[in-house]
Structure 1
Amino acid sequence: MIKIYAPASIGNVGVGFDILGAAITPIDDTLLGDCVSIEPSNTFQLNCYGNFSTHLPKDIKKNITWKAWKWFSKKTNKKKPISITLEKNMPVGSGLGSSASSIVASVLAFNKFYKTKLTQVELIKLMGILEGSISGGIHYDNVAPCYLGGLQLITDDIHNPTQKLPIFKNWLWIIAWPGITVSTSTARNILPLQYSKEICIQNSRNLSTFIHALYTQKSELAIRFMQDTIAEPYRISLIQNFLYIKTALLKLGALTCNISGSGPTLFSICLNISVANKVKEWLEKNYIKNNQGFVHICKIDQLGARKIRI
């Protein structure tokens, strides 16, 4: 049997709309990511279980794991039936790369099972295509970090579509999903079709200074320029009391409060576990809407997707 785990991810990372993404993992070793298992079978099977499996489409042909299997079965022309299990640990429409997690785990599992030996670039491009079939447009800011780990800069270069960036090891990333969803298409459609020259310049300044600060290890500078001028001003209307929450977390000692991907998950960064726990407790009390919601203190997952023991 082959079993692949693919971690959750933060798209945009505030300052890098559609071109930055970070893989994350809870410090308490909670499994925050999807798993796909494959084994030979007498009949084709796709079984889904996990906390969020009921959120998946009932029509199997709309399941992203089925779409990935269909692609590989056509490419290899192998019709031998297999049993596929998708362990859905990620909430759909959460802003934590749920679809990317399923896609990455599926593609890597099939690539290994069918021995197609696709290159890293070929794998990333296939992952982007499958992601686009869900969100309406090809983008890699979740699939790249989910697959490769760390903080990734999406270059879309023909030879090197993504580049790993350095990150501050002492940063603790607190993520909070309230238990409700925001569709990626809704979050993208709310954005303007055009931006002023001033906003474009500011966005370029913020992103370039942030990346400079990563390479020169200037943590305070990186935080000051982790500002989203492209998406956050418009998407805060989709998140109730966002500005109040942001102010409250900063008063507790958090360094940031930003929207993860399309939302509604929020992420915050802290420098020590004491502040991180205060932020976690506040979010659990004031941002979680139901018993499905969660808050985790995380670190950057440098490994990305990997084979795990059965």
Structure 2
Amino acid sequence: MGRIAYVNGRYQRHADAAVHIEDRGYQLADAVYEVWSVFGGKLADAEGHFARLARSLGELRIPAPMSRAALTIVLREVLRRNQVREGLIYLQVSRGVAPRDHAFPDGDLSPSVVITAKSLDRAASEAKAAKGIAVITTPENRWGRCDIKTVGLLPNVLARQAARERGAGEALFVDEMGLVTEGASANAWILDGDGVLRTRDTQANILRGVTRRTLLDVIAEAGLKVEERPFTPEEIARAKEAFITGAGSLVLPVITIDGQPIGGGAPGPVAKRLRSLYIERAKQTAV
């Protein structure tokens, strides 16, 4: 069976799915998105993703295209039609279709909705986590509202491409003060020399990661010490451990930064434990 996408009320063959050429998401990045991890055919961290979607839509003044209950039904139907049990589901909502102009169009628009899903090889993901990834650093050059999950991701695209060309799995943005903000598609964490877990606070120019939020709860339940406090690339290099979090990466150990080994140059016990605890929590609470 071929892949199926949902576009503006219709389930279509993925290869045939399309939006209008004057869709504002396509022309102006006037759109938001969310990505859920899928475990056992269910949505992980569902509440956090729905809440962040509502916030992003509100910040851009895009009306919700449907109720949460209706959206949940559509998301589950896309998973069912694509037979996705383990994987990711992607949702994008744009302001809609209108003649190209930077200002909001006059009158009411119907938001455009696109949903796709894909399966992931969990065994391959676990093998990747067991090995760990390399990261590079890059200057922060994104706009000042990274707390809104918009589709305007060109700086992230260029950063991730730079990482790929250097054999790394992620790029970490570094601000004008020399502090790491976040990754191109993930939040950044370290276990510092004092044994304290640290991640940047969300008052900074970073996305309010849903996986990050859940992991903070997991950390508290595990009785580990955590501080929402920034760090430098040099502190990452000196850290006992480092890892990133996101819907796609879950909890993914980082073993080198700009070619320098972190800790023993292999995934550490805390990151591995937190990955296991997070996945267990995600499976138990998925809906």
TM value normalised by structure 1: 0.28
Identify, as 1 or 2, the structure richer in strand.
2
Identify, as 1 or 2, the structure richer in helix.
1
Instruction: Kindly indicate whether structure 1 or structure 2 has the higher relative contact order, using CA contacts under 8 Å at least 6 residues apart.
Output: 1
